[in-house]
Amino acid sequence: MRFLVYTRKTLLETARDWKLLVFTLLFAPCFVFILYGAYGGGNPAFNIAVYNLDRQAGGSHGAGIVQALKEAAYSNGDPQFRIVLHESGSEADSLSLDSSIKKLEKRKLDAVLVLTGDTSKVIQTAAVCERAGVLQAPYHIYGDPLNGRYALAAIYAAAEVDRYVQKMTPIRLPLTLDEQFVGSGVSLSDFDQLMPGLLVLSLLNVLFTAGASFIKEIEKGTMLRLNLSLLRPREMIGGISLIQLLLGLASFALTLSAARICGFEWRGSVVAVLLVAAVSLLAVLGLALISVSFMSSVFDVMTVGMVPYFLVMFFAGLFFPLTAIELFSIGDSAFRLNDILPLSLSVSALNQALFFERGVYEIHMELLGNLIVACLYFGAGLWLFRRRHMTSR
Amino acid sequence: MEGQGRETFALELDGIVKRYGNLIAVDGISLRIAKRQLYAVLGPNGAGKSTLISIAMGLVKADSGHVRLNGASEAAGLSQVGLCPQELVIWEGLTVWEQLLFMGSMHGVQRTIARRRADELLEALGLMDKKRVMASALSGGMKRRLNIMLALMHDPSVVILDEPHAGLDPQSRIWVRDFLKNLSADKTVIVTTHDMEETEKIADRAVIIDRGRVLAEDTPSNLIRSVYPAHLLELSLDGYGSQAEEITKLLAAGFPGLMQQGRMLRAESDNPLRLAGQIRERLTLAGIRDGNGEIRIRNANLEDVFIAMTGRGLRE
């Protein structure tokens, strides 16, 4: 009974604290729209400057390669490259090349491709020669190895050049590539790949509202009245946790809806995704309890609370994978050092559920691991909070 | 009170000691507070009043000593106690009505009873028209009254109020004074305060505590009579300018009962009018102009008692 009364009171207070409520519910969905604006919904198109120095420019193989690059597309028809073509005169002199290389440094370009003067000559020779490779001419690719997009741009461009050469000559490589996709087979955009992290971020934001709800009773001194009423810790923490759980799930649903509006598609199990979210929220609540055990005000939550927030955001791999140290494995499932952080396994589980159409059974090891981690955090948080803020009788 | 049975005491403290490092906050205090009276715990800041109350409520553990509430152990009797802390302990995000009902429910009061009780309290403390107002929108005095109401929602037989008059405007002070007096008709009301004037008006009994020890315990009038059975005569030195020191020496020699307290010479006398005449005569003989109105005769109060006992003002 007292649990329900306390839960109702928490609901009223949470609903009336509209600033924090709006932050929790809308931060991640807004982030989705911002990222969609930044990345676009489609596949990444790489910015390439192509210097066609082929002496037979115009109708030559140099122009053919440029055309092939322009036509290169992903399976859904999105172009692979945005080409800036330099063909003749001052457009293609060494000063212009220097300028493009500077653009690589500033990441305004992902790669620079230079087709040399003998490009047509060697391809024509190879087309009529029985023995290939008698004549060779280089083509150059410039790029910044520190730019993650360069590697992909270079691979895609080189593959396109190879494809063109094999099409125009009898030259055949001894090994042929047969590419197979795992998962749904649908290519993923940069935006799509950020979605598991963004969804988990929507859950992580509950750290602040939950922390504020837990600490408010301490800061305002109302914990004294609750202690005197002999309210049990489980009734209070249970009441707050239930409201925060619902809040987190609402934020999660809004983030997913925002993503769908932006064209994100997934065919995975809804139950699996919701289970991952619920277990992840338990871990976030545990982390909030541990954090506020060492705090005394909402201000502390909003400032010092950034430490666990960013710690989890970066080291649990929400937005970029980190090198993992494997601790042990059970069957096919390996458990890594950063899996002891809450939400680390959530990202992995969501990846599988969203992109590989896995159901609850297929991700049960991640779910179980996540549940164990969440229970450990929640249990530790409960113990610490009781010890530091609630009078035990 | 020696002959009273244990069941007649609302609160019994027996040899309570509490130390914080080298500081002895409570130094062996024993008190027995009878039921259905308004009992004031007096003392300056840092005297140990709040620590003593916290120990009585089980919020702070005593190093030694025993507490009994309504004849039972502290833990068993706690449900019959309502505490109104000195700080405002209210839920700013709830309306007055919501938090009264919430507090009632937390103490296991049935909803219909809680509603009736909340209405009674709102009426008694003059907040009926603020029932649906958010606590954050109340004035300081109204919040103080709400603070008191929250301690009473479960109809406790013992009510402990820590500095209930602090920060109250005159209207709220009158409301609270009348309310506490009425409350003590069927409940034990324990008030910690350093407001002596208010205590004289409302308390049935009072204890004066300083440095963690009981200095005196009785009714306010008995406390005053025990220290100052006669009237007080006060001579203010403010009107004498540079002659103040000369006057002090002159009068101290002639009137041994005259004690200096700051810019005041004070003496207790059964016949203060005669003493005043003697002082004026002495001043005239010494060629010192009689500062009209500087000699004042009045009854002693609790503050005088405290000063006499501790040698310092209450609000230092």
CA atoms of B76 and B214, how far apart (whole Å): 26
Nearest CA distance, A379 vs chain B (angstrom): 25
DSSP helix/strand/coil, B146: helix
User: Which residues are within 8 A (CB) of B213 and not within 5 positions of it... i.e. 6 or more apart?
Assistant: B27, B28, B29, B48
Query: How many A/B residue pairs have CB atoms within 8 Å?
Result: 58
Quick one: tokens of A46?
A: 């790489």
For residue A216, the chain B residue with the least C-alpha distance is B91
DSSP helix/strand/coil, B306: helix
Q: Does A19 touch chain B (CB under 8 A)?
A: no
Nearest CA distance, B198 vs chain A (angstrom): 26
Cβ contact A2–B108 (<8 Å):
yes
DSSP helix/strand/coil, B234: strand
CA atoms of B127 and B133, how far apart (whole Å): 10
For residue B101, the chain A residue with the least C-alpha distance is A5
Cβ contact A220–B89 (<8 Å):
yes
Find residues 59-78 of chain A whose CB sits inside 8 Å of chain B. Answer: none
Q: Does B104 touch chain A (CB under 8 A)?
A: no
For residue A8, the chain B residue with the least C-alpha distance is B102
Nearest CA distance, B63 vs chain A (angstrom): 17
Q: Does B157 touch chain A (CB under 8 A)?
A: no
Residues of chain B contacting residue A17, judged by C-beta atoms under 8 Å apart: 93
Q: Which of A225, A227, A232 to mutate to test the interface with B (most CBs of B within 10 A)?
A: A225
Q: Does B137 touch chain A (CB under 8 A)?
A: no
In the β-sheet with A111-115, what is the strand arrangement from edge to edge?
A: A81-86, A46-52, A111-115, A139-142
Cβ contact B106–A227 (<8 Å):
no
DSSP helix/strand/coil, B199: helix
Cβ contact A5–B102 (<8 Å):
yes
User: Which residues are within 8 A (CB) of A98 and not within 5 positions of it... i.e. 6 or more apart?
Assistant: none
For residue A219, the chain B residue with the least C-alpha distance is B89
Of B57, B102, B108, the CB nearest to A228: B57
CB A280, CB A54: distance < 8 Å: no
The angle formed by the CA atoms of residues A169, A172 and A178, to the nearest 5 degrees, is 125
Q: Where in chain A is the domain with CATH 3.40.1710.10?
A: 46-168
Quick one: tokens of A342?
A: 């809450």
Residues of chain A contacting residue B154, judged by C-beta atoms under 8 Å apart: 229
- pLDDT, residue B315, reads 41
User: Which residues are within 8 A (CB) of A334 and not within 5 positions of it... i.e. 6 or more apart?
Assistant: A326, A328
Cβ contact A16–B93 (<8 Å):
yes
For the B11-225 domain, the top CATH level (class) is alpha beta
For residue A3, the chain B residue with the least C-alpha distance is B106
DSSP helix/strand/coil, B215: strand
Residues of chain A contacting residue B83, judged by C-beta atoms under 8 Å apart: 224-225, 228
For residue A7, the chain B residue with the least C-alpha distance is B102
* pTM score, whole prediction: 0.74
For residue A217, the chain B residue with the least C-alpha distance is B91
Q: What is the CATH number of domain B229-299?
A: 3.30.70.270
CA atoms of B40 and B47, how far apart (whole Å): 14
- pLDDT, residue A392, reads 47
For residue A2, the chain B residue with the least C-alpha distance is B106
A 10 A CB-CB count for A284 gives 30
According to CATH, the superfamily of the domain at A46-168 is abc type-2 transporter like domain (3.40.1710.10)
Cβ contact A1–B85 (<8 Å):
no
Query: Per 3-state DSSP, what percentage of chain B is helix, strand, and coil (rounded to 5)?
Result: 40, 25, 30
Which among B31, B54, B48, B50 has a CA at the least distance from the CA of B216?
B31
Which among B35, B82, B36 has a CA at the least distance from the CA of B56?
B82
- Find the helix or strand (DSSP H, E) in which B176 lies: helix B170-183
Nearest CA distance, A217 vs chain B (angstrom): 9
CB A296, CB A263: distance < 8 Å: no
Q: Mark the ranges of chain A whose per-residue pLDDT is less than 50.
A: 392-393
CB B16, CB B54: distance < 8 Å: no
CA atoms of A216 and A17, how far apart (whole Å): 12
- pLDDT, residue B115, reads 96
Tell me the three-class secondary structure of chain A, residue by residue.
CHHHHHHHHHHHHHHHCHHHHHHHHHHHHHHHHHHHHHHCCCCCCEEEEEEECCCCCCCCHHHHHHHHHHHCECCCCCECEEEEEECCHHHHCHHHHHHHHHHHHCCCCCEEEEECCCHHHHHHHHHHCCCCCCCCCCEEEECCCCCHHHHHHHHHHHHHHHHHHHHHCCCCCCCCCCCCCCCCCCCCCHHHHHHHHHHHHHHHCHHHHHHHHHHHHHHCCHHHHHHHCCCCHHHHHHHHHHHHHHHHHHHHHHHHHHHHHCCCCCCCCHHHHHHHHHHHHHHHHHHHHHHHCCCCCHHHHHHCCHHHHHHHHHHCCCCCCCCCCEEEEECCEEEEHHHHCCCHHHHHHHHHHHHCCCCCCCCHHHHHHHHHHHHHHHHHHHHHHHHHHCCCC
Residues of chain A contacting residue B89, judged by C-beta atoms under 8 Å apart: 220-222, 224-225
Give residue limits of the domains in chain B: 11-225, 229-299
DSSP helix/strand/coil, B305: helix
Nearest CA distance, B89 vs chain A (angstrom): 5
Q: Mark the ranges of chain B whose per-residue pLDDT is less than 70.
A: 1-7, 74-77, 289-293, 311-316
